[in-house]
């Protein structure tokens, strides 16, 4: 029953906020309050202990789930506030400006409700269902395409709007299909592993195929190269409010559930699966390398951010290439740091584009001089994702690479992964150039007061103050988000200990009349590697 | 072979085929509701009334969401294949699935594995044609139903929570499909478009 208040608060708040989205600011206020409530509940509720059952399924509420939900609620809260405080587009707004509009609060709330279930259900196969639903939650923030039902005979601008709506609908439909394919493949693979495990002792082909299918489902969900094209288009082209849940939080939750399935279904068999693990490791290395090159080659901030996300998502696959449980802790660390840090990066890109009215890097020269808070936020995001020796994110990346590769490939991949630092350095160096006219004409980050007027109402004064200070307020919110990411990346908030705790074990059923055989995960040994988060 | 399970499987697959091949919003919604609502009937032993009620409510919600989202709008991306060839392909896949149960030890009935394979086939064939966003979403709905049937085929009847989760995922996917449909303009909301739509435009009342 421990999970119920949290699930009710998240799902109820999300549905209510979505239903009232067009009633002024009511939807936003409800979303903010509900996100705060979910964050507080996640931080205060305790594990019900072994034997807890929810509607016939064993459930638990481990420390990692609490941290994941609390971090997700705080990130959602900051992003929702950011949607209110964003600078308005300058007069010469780009044509795709309307995709910035919808509020991300309901999407985060519905995602958190699904995440509470996915992280709380003990059976990894059952947990995949809410994990997939968590990704679908992002659709409430996409907004309906403003299309036209008349296929012919409209004016040219109507035809263009209709074509844009068709492309947007096609991309999102493909995203939904991708989620369903990943779910179907992962569940079928795990079910086959359960069925085959007793049959194929000494015959690893079936296990290998199922293992590959599970890893490929995660690759499809996270957008690993060469399955990246659609994921990149979603990050670049979907409504801004939907991207964090669609492209970051949803895939991370799915990967967490699949990782639990791997620990429970594949690793206990003790098969080497060298070829299959090599294929997965190769995909991961290709994603890390090509993602980095892609981000360095782009001149549009959205493209840079998209490829940077894909590059760092490649580390998730490395957890599936490790031959033992040593990757469990580092992978779970990474699967929490990644969505928080990249949400901060998406927010940074959004505020940058809004503040200066362009997303083109050549036109953004000198941005850091005009917006030093945004520069601080970018540096903090880099600290969260790349880290420094001694910090948790650095140790997690190193442990994931070390678990998947032997020398000399290990050093090569580790060096390649540091292109993340080059991407950030390029953005920061561009920001220190002499400002372009577009950057010079944009609002700076100094706080301004509205002119005194004793006859003005308090609400009107507050609105005017916000309008005058949209750039610094939104930049401060991005810094707060980046600080949360940096804190997690440094191992604060108990992530170091929470990430390495083993998956909960289902209690032995008291009677034999239970209809559904439960998939029983096994406890995982604590990684012994000295550089892994477990031991550091 | 259990005739009741075969009949239930035929109903489920027919719902899936209607979902991806129909051009009328009402048929799509009814097909989706049948697809999601009838899948628990494939389990042996048959689930209890509360579980069936859970799935029925979830299926009705999914159908309602699709109906609200798609009515009066274009459902033009339906499968390149019509329902007769799709049904034949599904029947072949059903036979293969029932045979495959001999290779994969499982605790569920072989008919369920046949239905799962038939639904996978329907979804894959449907997206191989001229897809648009809505159609891809409807195919995703068929895949989700197929996944729940795989669970039934391999592990037997689901728990109450899992049944609820499948209903929730189905309803969420249906809501997402409804959100993919282009927004009605004010004049269309007044009802003048469906009757005035040019022939072959795919718009249906």
Residue-wise pLDDT tens digits, A418-461: 898 999 999 999 999 998 888 888 888 888 888 888 787 888 88
Q: Is the ipTM here above 0.85?
A: yes
Which pLDDT tens digit goes with each residue over B132-176? 888 889 999 999 999 999 988 888 888 888 888 999 999 999 999
Query: Which has the minimum average pLDDT: A144-153, A438-447, B44-53?
Result: A144-153
Q: Are B11 and B125 in contact (CB under 8 A)?
A: no
Asked whether residue A517 carries a pLDDT value surpassing 50, the answer given is no
Does residue B32 belong to any structural domain of this protein?
yes
Predicted local distance difference test score (pLDDT) of residue A96: 55
Residue B205 to chain A, least CA–CA distance (Å): 12
The single-letter DSSP state of residue A121 is B
Asked whether residue A15 carries a pLDDT value surpassing 70, the answer given is yes
Predicted local distance difference test score (pLDDT) of residue B9: 92
In a mutational test of the B interface, the residue from A135, A180, A205, A220 whose CB has the highest number of chain B CBs within 10 Å is: A180
Does residue B190 belong to any structural domain of this protein?
no
Q: Which of A54, A129, A191 sits opposite B169 (nearest CB)?
A: A129
Q: What value does the mean pLDDT take over residues A122-129?
A: 89
Q: Residue B102's pLDDT band (boundaries 50, 70, 90)?
A: confident
Question: Between these two residues, A210 and B181, which has the higher pLDDT value?
Answer: A210
Number of Cβ within a 10 Å radius of residue B95: 13
Q: Which of B159, B175, B181 sits opposite A516 (nearest CB)?
A: B159
Q: Are A328 and A524 in contact (CB under 8 A)?
A: yes
Residue span of the structural domain in which B163 resides: 3-182
Strand ranges, E, within A177-323? none
Q: What percent of chain B has pLDDT over 70?
A: 83
Q: How far is CA A413 from the centre of its chain?
A: 23
Which chain A residues are within 8 Å of B181, Cβ to Cβ? 144-145, 169
Tokens of A130: 């809410």
Contacts for B74 with CB less than 8 Å, ≥ 6 apart: A149, A151, B134, B181, B182, B201, B202, B203
Tokens of A370: 């005009």
A198-207, A252-261, A437-446, B175-184: which has the highest mean pLDDT? A252-261
Asked if A172's CB is within 8 angstroms of B133's CB, the reply is yes
Q: Is B26 near chain A, with CB under 8 Å?
A: no
Predicted local distance difference test score (pLDDT) of residue A86: 82
Does residue B93 belong to any structural domain of this protein?
yes
Residue A43 region, left (φ>0) first, then alpha (ψ -120 to 50), else beta? alpha
Predicted local distance difference test score (pLDDT) of residue A504: 63
Question: Between these two residues, A216 and A54, which has the higher pLDDT value?
Answer: A216
Asked if B177's CB is within 8 angstroms of A515's CB, the reply is no
Predicted local distance difference test score (pLDDT) of residue A20: 87
Query: Which has the minimum average pLDDT: A15-29, B53-67, B75-89?
Result: B75-89
Residue A390 region, left (φ>0) first, then alpha (ψ -120 to 50), else beta? left
Q: Residue A379's pLDDT band (boundaries 50, 70, 90)?
A: very high
Q: Is B52 near chain A, with CB under 8 Å?
A: no
Which pLDDT tens digit goes with each residue over A258-276? 999 988 888 877 778 888 8
Q: What value does the mean pLDDT take over residues A150-176?
A: 68
Which residue matches tokens 């995703």? B140
CA angle A243, A249, A252 (to 5 degrees): 130
* Alpha carbons B18 and B34: distance in angstroms, whole number: 10
Q: Residue A479's pLDDT band (boundaries 50, 70, 90)?
A: very high
Does residue B195 belong to any structural domain of this protein?
no
Which residue matches tokens 């294949």? B81
Q: Residue A526's pLDDT band (boundaries 50, 70, 90)?
A: very low
Asked whether residue B66 carries a pLDDT value surpassing 60, the answer given is yes
Count H helices and E strands in chain B, helices first. Answer: 9, 0
Query: Which has the minimum average pLDDT: A191-205, A411-425, B39-53, B75-89?
Result: A191-205
Q: Are A99 and A488 in contact (CB under 8 A)?
A: no
Which pLDDT tens digit goes with each residue over A61-96? 889 999 999 999 999 999 999 988 887 766 555 555
Asked whether residue B127 carries a pLDDT value surpassing 60, the answer given is yes
What total number of domains does chain B contain?
1
Q: Residue A506's pLDDT band (boundaries 50, 70, 90)?
A: low
Q: Which of B137, B183, B198 sits opposite A173 (nearest CB)?
A: B137
Which chain A residues are within 8 Å of B135, Cβ to Cβ? 173
Asked if B151's CB is within 8 angstroms of A195's CB, the reply is no
Asked if A165's CB is within 8 angstroms of B182's CB, the reply is yes
Q: How far is CA A343 from the centre of its chain?
A: 7
Q: What value does the mean pLDDT take over residues A189-214?
A: 77
Does residue B198 belong to any structural domain of this protein?
no
Q: Are A347 and A407 in contact (CB under 8 A)?
A: no
Asked if A173's CB is within 8 angstroms of B132's CB, the reply is yes
Question: Between these two residues, A497 and A203, which has the higher pLDDT value?
Answer: A497
Q: Residue A524's pLDDT band (boundaries 50, 70, 90)?
A: very low
Nearest to A330 by CA among A120, A534, A118: A534
> DSSP assignment of B85-98, as one string?
HHHHHHHHHHHHHH
Q: Is B190 near chain A, with CB under 8 Å?
A: no
Does residue B188 belong to any structural domain of this protein?
no
Q: Residue B71's pLDDT band (boundaries 50, 70, 90)?
A: confident
Query: Which has the minimum average pLDDT: A14-23, A370-379, A453-462?
Result: A453-462
Predicted local distance difference test score (pLDDT) of residue A530: 40
Tokens of A44: 């205060």
């Amino acid at each position: 029953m421990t999970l119920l208040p949290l699930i009710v608060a998240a799902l109820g708040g999300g549905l209510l906020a979505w239903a009232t989205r067009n009633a002024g600011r009511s939807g936003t206020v409800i979303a903010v309050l509900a996100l705060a409530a979910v964050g507080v509940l996640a931080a205060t509720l305790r594990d019900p202990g072994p034997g807890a059952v929810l509607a016939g399924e064993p459930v638990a509420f481990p420390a990692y789930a609490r941290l994941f939900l609390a971090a997700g609620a705080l990130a959602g809260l900051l992003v929702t506030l950011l949607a209110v405080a964003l600078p308005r587009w300058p007069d010469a707004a780009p044509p795709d400006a309307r995709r910035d509009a919808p509020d991300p609060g309901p999407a985060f709330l519905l995602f958190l409700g699904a995440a509470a279930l996915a992280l709380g259900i003990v059976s990894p196969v059952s947990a995949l269902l809410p994990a997939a639903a968590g990704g679908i939650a992002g659709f409430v923030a996409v907004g309906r395409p403003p299309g036209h039902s008349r296929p012919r005979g409209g004016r040219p601008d109507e035809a263009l709007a209709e074509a844009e709506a068709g492309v947007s609908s096609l991309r999102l439909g493909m995203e939904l299909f991708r989620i369903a394919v990943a779910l179907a493949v992962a569940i079928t693979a795990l079910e086959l592993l359960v069925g085959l495990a007793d049959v194929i002792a000494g015959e690893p082909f079936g296990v290998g195929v199922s293992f590959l299918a599970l890893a490929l489902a995660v690759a499809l969900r996270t957008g690993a190269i060469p399955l990246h094209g659609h994921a990149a288009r979603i990050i670049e082209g979907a409504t801004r409010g939907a991207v964090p849940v669609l492209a970051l939080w949803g895939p991370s939750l799915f990967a967490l559930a699949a990782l639990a399935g791997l620990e429970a279904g594949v690793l206990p068999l003790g098969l080497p699966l060298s070829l299959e693990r090599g294929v997965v490791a190769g995909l991961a290395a290709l994603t890390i390398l090509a993602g980095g090159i892609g981000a360095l080659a782009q001149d549009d901030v959205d493209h840079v951010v998209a490829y940077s996300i894909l590059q760092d998502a490649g580390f998730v696959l490395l957890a599936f290439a490790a031959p033992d449980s040593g990757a469990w802790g580092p992978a779970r660390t990474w699967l929490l740091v990644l969505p928080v840090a990249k949400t901060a990066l998406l927010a940074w890109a959004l505020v940058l584009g809004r503040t200066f009215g362009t997303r083109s890097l050549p036109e953004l020269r000198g941005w850091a001089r005009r917006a030093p808070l945004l520069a601080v936020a970018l540096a903090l995001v880099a600290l969260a994702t790349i880290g420094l020796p001694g910090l948790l994110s650095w140790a997690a990346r190193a442990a994931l690479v070390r678990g998947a590769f032997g020398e000399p490939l290990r050093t090569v991949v580790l060096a390649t992964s540091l292109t993340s630092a080059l991407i950030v350095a390029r953005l920061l160096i561009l920001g220190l150039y002499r400002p372009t006219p577009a950057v010079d004409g944009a609002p700076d980050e100094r706080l301004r007061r509205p002119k005194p007027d004793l006859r003005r109402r308090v609400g009107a004064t507050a609105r005017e103050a916000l309008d005058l200070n949209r750039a610094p307020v939104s930049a401060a919110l991005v810094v707060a988000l980046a600080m949360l990411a940096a804190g997690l990346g440094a191992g604060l908030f108990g992530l170091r200990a929470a990430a390495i705790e083993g998956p909960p074990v289902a209690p032995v059923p008291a009677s034999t009349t239970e209809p559904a055989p439960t998939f029983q995960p096994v406890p995982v040994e604590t990684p012994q590697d000295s550089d892994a988060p477990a031991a550091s | 072979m259990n005739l009741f399970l075969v009949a239930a499987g035929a109903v489920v697959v027919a719902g899936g085929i209607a979902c991806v091949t129909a051009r009328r919003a009402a048929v799509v919604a009814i097909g989706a509701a049948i697809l999601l609502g009838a899948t628990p009937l494939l389990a042996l032993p048959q689930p209890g009334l509360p579980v069936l009620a859970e799935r029925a409510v979830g299926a009705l919600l999914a159908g309602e969401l699709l109906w609200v989202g798609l009515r009066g709008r274009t459902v033009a991306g339906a499968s390149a294949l019509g329902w007769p060839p799709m049904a034949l392909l599904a029947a072949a896949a059903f036979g293969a699935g029932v045979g495959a149960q001999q290779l994969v030890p499982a605790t569920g009935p072989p008919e369920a594995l046949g239905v799962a394979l038939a639904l996978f086939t329907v979804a894959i064939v449907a997206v191989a044609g001229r897809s648009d966003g809505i159609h891809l979403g409807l195919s995703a709905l068929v895949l989700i139903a197929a996944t729940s049937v795989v669970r039934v085929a391999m592990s037997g009847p689901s728990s109450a929570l899992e049944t609820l989760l499948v209903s929730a995922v189905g309803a969420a996917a249906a809501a997402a499909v409804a959100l993919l449909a282009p927004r009605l303009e004010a004049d269309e909301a007044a009802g003048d478009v469906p009757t005035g739509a040019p022939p072959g435009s795919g718009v249906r009342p």
